[in-house]
Amino acid sequence: MTTSPNSVIVVIEDDPAIRQFLRTGLGTHGFKIFEAENGQRGIIEAGIRKPDFIILDLGLPDMDGVDVIKKIREWSAIPIIVLSARSNEQHKIGALDAGADDYLTKPFGLGELLARIRVAMRHSFHNPSQSQNNIFVSGALKVDLLKRQVFTNEQEVHLTPIQYRLLSVLVKNAGKVLTHQYLLKEIWGPSHKDNSHYLRIYMSQLRQKLEIEPTQPQYLLTESGIGYRLKF
């Protein structure tokens, strides 16, 4: 596969050899990788890098991998794929029930990992307003979540990371009103709950780029006092 999704992955793994393997293996497939070599650091990276998913080794030096999962799940639903040397069934069950989305036993092939990443991406994109290929279309606006491409009138539009992220959250919940709090938590993480200021700025930028008449938006609608929503 030669898709270059430009997605962001946080890898939490203490073994440098496997980190190296993932860095090159996933890197050549267009992923942007951030690494952490212990659980503490991993939780922080997950918070600040806003990854599309997380690859987590259970055997970490400083804390139990299951606790890392629980900690992340306190504020986020980012897909987590677990890697582990332990093929013990109880470990698998524990990790999956703590909130992991998949579990691979070492040794594993890069091809299988990539296939399971694609499964995770399908899941996080699924929405009734999207066709089977995870492409959202409404009027002149088209968003391809898999390829990370945005079009208006068949013309590709470049978005910055935050702009794209905001749009993708709106697309994944097309039609629904999303509160300021929810959007801020999804995009800037749990610490920026009150900066609803940011939202206005990025919303304005998206309208400039995507709306025909930015002052009278067709797609990116304001619900004053509540939040925003994408009309479809």
Partner DNA sequence: TAAAAAATTTACAGCATTTTTACATTAAAT
Partner DNA sequence: ATTTAATGTAAAAATGCTGTAAATTTTTTA
Q: 53, 77, 55: which is closest to 182 by C-alpha? A: 77
* Min CB(54)–DNA separation in Å: 17
* N-term to C-term CA, the chain: 31
* Min CB(119)–DNA separation in Å: 27
* Min CB(197)–DNA separation in Å: 6
The answer to whether residue 56 forms part of the interface with a second copy (CB under 8 A) is no
Q: Which of residues 150-179 bind a second copy (CB under 8 A)?
A: 160-161, 173, 175-177
d(CA 83, CA 66): 12
* Min CB(38)–a second copy separation in Å: 26
The CB-based long-range contact list for 104-112 (8 Å cut-off, 24+ gap) reads 106/18, 108/83, 110/21, 110/25, 110/26
The smaller minimum CB distance to a second copy, of residues 67 and 97, is found at: 97
Q: Which of residues 173-212 bind a second copy (CB under 8 A)?
A: 173, 175-177
The smaller minimum CB distance to a second copy, of residues 34 and 125, is found at: 125
The smaller minimum CB distance to a second copy, of residues 35 and 219, is found at: 219
With CB under 8 A as the rule, give the number of residues binding a second copy.
41
The β-bridge partners of 219 are none
* Contact (Cβ atoms closer than 8 angstroms) between residue 97 and residue 76: no
* Contact (Cβ atoms closer than 8 angstroms) between residue 49 and residue 10: yes
Amino acid identity of residue 170, one-letter, is L
Q: 102, 112, 109: which is closest to 21 by C-alpha? A: 109
The answer to whether residue 70 forms part of the interface with a second copy (CB under 8 A) is no
Chain residues in the site for a second copy (CB under 8 A) = 1, 73, 77, 89-90, 92-93, 96-97, 100-102, 109, 111-112, 114-116, 118-119, 123, 126-129, 132, 146-149, 160-161, 173, 175-177, 223-226, 229
